[in-house]
Amino acid sequence: MINIQIDQVGYRPNDYKTATFRIEDTNSVSDSVKLNGNSGNTFRVIDVINNEVVFESELSKEIKSEPNGEVNRVGDFSSLNKVGKYVIETEKYGKSYEFEIKDNIYEDVLKSTLKMFYLQRCGCALEEKYAGVFAHKECHNTMARIYGTDKYIDVSGGWHDAGDYGRYTVAAAKSVVDLMMAYECFPDVLEKPFDIPDDGSNVPDILREVKYELDFMLKMQDSDTGGVYHKVTCSSFPGFVMPEYEKDELIVSPVSDAATCDFAAAMAHAYRVYKDLSKKYGDGAKEYEKAADTYLEAANKAIEFLLTNHAGEFVNPAGIVTGEYGDTDTRDEYFFAYAEMFNTTGDKKYEELLKGMDLAGISGDFGWKEVGDYGFYAYLSAPHNKDKEFNDRVSAKFINEASEKQFKYLEDPYKSTIYGYYYWGCNMEVANNAMRGILIDRLKGTNSYRMMAHSQLHYLLGNNPNSKCFVTGFGTDTVMHPHHRPSAAVNSPMPGMLVGGAEPLLLDDVAKRLLNNKAPAKCYIDELDSYSTNEITIYWNSPLVFLLAYMNE
């Protein structure tokens, strides 16, 4: 067992770098272990090429950590900024995995987490040249039946949501908005290609890939009312087959308010990103600019629906058992929609709608369910004249919630912002929290979330109590059995996917069987059937892309 955890992908020379030492495993009463060894309050970093000690420093005092089920110490080696290959060592706690310090260390993992979206494409064939063993024939291209009717529509395209092949509007919206924000914040980094089929347009791969999803989303809008269908799936999940073998009837589930709001928000945002692309990328981008107009029209139609109708909360209709993505509180979704519309159009009418909402009741976060932070950021970053008093209130709300999260990270020996609060897909929140900090720093022109952002990435890439690099294809102890149908079908993990992480409620049979008695942060298992801890999704990857783009700046 490795008792010294580090970022297994490595560090850039000037990154914030801490290693976490497990000195006692108090995980459960029955398997409590006291690690042996002699005293030693220091740790050393050894250059593995010439076996020299290049750094030595004090360990922190002991920290008893209930959520991790451990007693830990922490070693800070941020000031070691020499490029090289290293291992951390102590007499007492053994060795870490080897790791590198290098410029551009996160280049490949960024490329791979972006390529993941292409590999999740639905409705088209994936060529071997780009997809390797994940190549497949066209999938899910039949007309889809609108639930409860005998009307069929074309909703082909987009990305498979996760380990399953459903396509869900609220999940899609989060993913595209994260990726667009990443491009807006770090265009130079994200203009780099990531090996997807060319279209001769000179538009960056990331925007071409996002358009693939946006164009699918357009098809999910009911052309009569402007309302947006919640999802398209078969009635239940298939076995572990490649996507073209899921051949059951596709069913479009009813329109929901959440889907319509998130759709309006994403489309309004997309208009800003796509409208002027030919200035930067030449005439080949004209077609993208045309799409931008379509996105704004679609957003307007969705808003019309929202102002005059209520589709209500989504619950799975009888007979449909795929992911529900239900939400009982859609105030944050409305806020998101109106704020993005305000940012895009500058129309005061949207600011009035926002001001008419009770801010205190709007839940923050960058989730599929809680989307308030997207709304807050869209409002705060809007380039128009704003109501100063309201702007201050939104600003306070966005920033106060962030500082609570930053505080938690300082307490955790593994420096994670989700310390003591793990749930299905919580690795997303790790990336989300970093993204929020980075966005706040950009709004304020500060650099106060730098260390927090760095350590969130280090947590995801190996500095966690599971000793696991949570991104497939990377790290020394990497995820091998994600709950992901294509990976299971070809018996090899598709690279570049972030898994969900610890879920102490033990919500699948494998977790119930194997994680019983584990400390909350250790309720993770690299098993195919553990969908509550080891699945992947497009909207867990998307904030990670944002964070990695920042780390590649």
Binding residues for ligand G3I, rule: CB under 6 A, are 161-164, 166, 323, 325, 369, 423-425, 531, 535, 537
Is 224 noted as a catalytic residue in this protein? no
Residue closer to ligand 9MR by CB (options 163, 475) is: 163
Taking the C-alpha atoms of residue 90 and residue 73, their distance in angstroms, rounded to an integer, is 12
C-beta separation of 438 from 550 below 8 A = yes
Q: Which of 136, 458, 481, 483 is catalytic?
A: 483
Q: Which of residues 67, 163, 254, 475 is near ligand 9MR by CB under 6 A?
A: 163
| Distance in Å, CB of 424 to ligand 9MR, minimum | 8
Give just the sign of the alpha carbon dihedral 260, 261, 266, 267.
positive
C-beta separation of 386 from 432 below 8 A = no
| Distance in Å, CB of 422 to ligand G3I, minimum | 8
Q: Which does 425 bind (CB under 5 to 8 A by kind): ligand G3I, ligand 9MR, Zn ion, none?
A: ligand G3I
C-beta separation of 401 from 440 below 8 A = no
Q: Which does 429 bind (CB under 5 to 8 A by kind): ligand 9MR, ligand G3I, Zn ion, none?
A: none
| Distance in Å, CB of 201 to ligand 9MR, minimum | 34
Residue closer to ligand 9MR by CB (options 245, 390) is: 245
Is 535 noted as a catalytic residue in this protein? yes
- Rounded (10°) angle between helices 426-444 and 169-185: 40
Count of CB atoms situated within 10 Å of the CB of 406: 18
Give residues in contact with Zn ion (CB under 5 A).
Answer: 122, 139-140, 243
C-beta separation of 138 from 244 below 8 A = yes
Cβ-Cβ contacts under 8 Å for 129 (sequence gap 6 or more): none
Residue 89 parent element (H or E): strand 84-90
Is 164 noted as a catalytic residue in this protein? yes
| Distance in Å, CB of 485 to Zn ion, minimum | 10
Q: Which residue minimizes CB distance to ligand 9MR?
A: 164
Give just the sign of the alpha carbon dihedral 92, 93, 94, 99.
negative
| Distance in Å, CB of 361 to ligand 9MR, minimum | 29
Contact stretch for ligand 9MR (CB under 6 A) within 16-24, 161-169, 258-266, 273-281? 161-169
| Distance in Å, CB of 323 to ligand 9MR, minimum | 5
Q: Which does 237 bind (CB under 5 to 8 A by kind): Zn ion, ligand 9MR, ligand G3I, none?
A: ligand 9MR
- Rounded (10°) angle between helices 372-380 and 257-274: 30
- Edge to edge, the sheet with strand 144-146 lists 152-153, 144-146, 251-252, 231-233, 167-168
Distance set, CA 333 to CA 260, 363, 373 (Å):
9, 9, 10
Residue closer to ligand 9MR by CB (options 288, 540) is: 540
Residue closer to ligand 9MR by CB (options 163, 254) is: 163
Q: Which does 122 bind (CB under 5 to 8 A by kind): Zn ion, ligand G3I, ligand 9MR, none?
A: Zn ion
Residue closer to ligand G3I by CB (options 345, 537) is: 537
Residue closer to ligand 9MR by CB (options 15, 535) is: 535
Residue 426: both structure tokens together: 């919580």
**Is residue 501 a contact residue for ligand 9MR (CB under 6 A)?**
no
C-beta separation of 111 from 70 below 8 A = no
Residue closer to Zn ion by CB (options 137, 349) is: 137
**Is residue 323 a contact residue for ligand 9MR (CB under 6 A)?**
yes
Taking the C-alpha atoms of residue 219 and residue 204, their distance in angstroms, rounded to an integer, is 24
**Is residue 237 a contact residue for ligand 9MR (CB under 6 A)?**
yes
C-beta separation of 296 from 268 below 8 A = yes
Q: Which residue minimizes CB distance to Zn ion?
A: 122
Name which of 388, 387, 332, 402 is nearest 360 in CA terms.
Answer: 332
| Distance in Å, CB of 243 to ligand 9MR, minimum | 13
Is 526 noted as a catalytic residue in this protein? yes
Phi, psi of 345 (to 5 degrees): -105, -25
Task: Show the binding pattern over residues 506-535: x = contacts ligand 9MR (CB under 6 A), - = does not.
Answer: -----------------------x-x---x
Taking the C-alpha atoms of residue 106 and residue 549, their distance in angstroms, rounded to an integer, is 9
β-sheet bridge partners, residue 231: 168
**Is residue 441 a contact residue for ligand 9MR (CB under 6 A)?**
no
C-beta separation of 250 from 233 below 8 A = yes
User: Known catalytic residues?
Assistant: 164, 483, 526, 535
